[in-house]
Amino acid sequence: MICSIVHLNKNLSFDLTKPYDISIPLAASKENLTAWYVDTPIIEPVKGDGFIGSVAEGGSVNFRNIQFNPHGHGTHTECVGHISPEVYSINKHLTHFHFIAIVLTVEPTLWKTNEGTRNKGDLIIELAHIKKAITTYNPQALVIRTSPNPKSKQHKQYSSTNPAYLCDEAARFITNNGIDHLLIDLPSVDKELDNGELKSHKAFWQYPGNIQLNKTITELIFVDDSIVDGLYLLNLQIAPFENDASPSKPVLYPLI
The segments of the chain whose pLDDT lies below 50 read none
Q: For residue 9, what pLDDT is reported?
A: 74
Q: Is residue 28 part of a domain?
A: yes
Compute the residue count for the chain. 256
Q: For residue 4, what pLDDT is reported?
A: 85
Q: For residue 5, what pLDDT is reported?
A: 84
Peptide bond into 139 cis (omega under 30): no
**Contacts of residue 222, Cβ cutoff 8 Å, sequence gap at least 6:** 22, 23, 24, 75, 151, 153, 154, 185
Three-class SS state of 203: helix
Tell me the residue range of the domain where 77 lies.
2-34+70-254
Distances (CA, A) of 162 to 117, 165, 178, 213, 219: 12, 9, 29, 29, 15
Helix (H) or strand (E) holding 200: helix 199-205
Q: For residue 113, what pLDDT is reported?
A: 87
Q: Is residue 248 part of a domain?
A: yes
Q: Is residue 62 part of a domain?
A: no
- The amino acid at residue 250 is P
Q: Is residue 63 part of a domain?
A: no
Is residue 141 within 8 Å of residue 236, measured between CB atoms? yes
| Nearest Cα to Cα of residue 252 among 32, 104, 149, 153 | 104
Q: Residues 98, 101, 105, 109: is their CA dihedral positive or negative?
A: negative
CA dist., res. 246 & res. 68, Å (int): 11
Q: For residue 8, what pLDDT is reported?
A: 75
Q: For residue 7, what pLDDT is reported?
A: 82
Q: Is residue 95 part of a domain?
A: yes
pTM over 0.95: yes
Q: For residue 199, what pLDDT is reported?
A: 97
Q: Is residue 44 part of a domain?
A: no
Per the structure, how many domains does the chain have? 1
Q: CATH number of the domain that 173 lies in?
A: 3.50.30.50
Q: Is residue 179 part of a domain?
A: yes
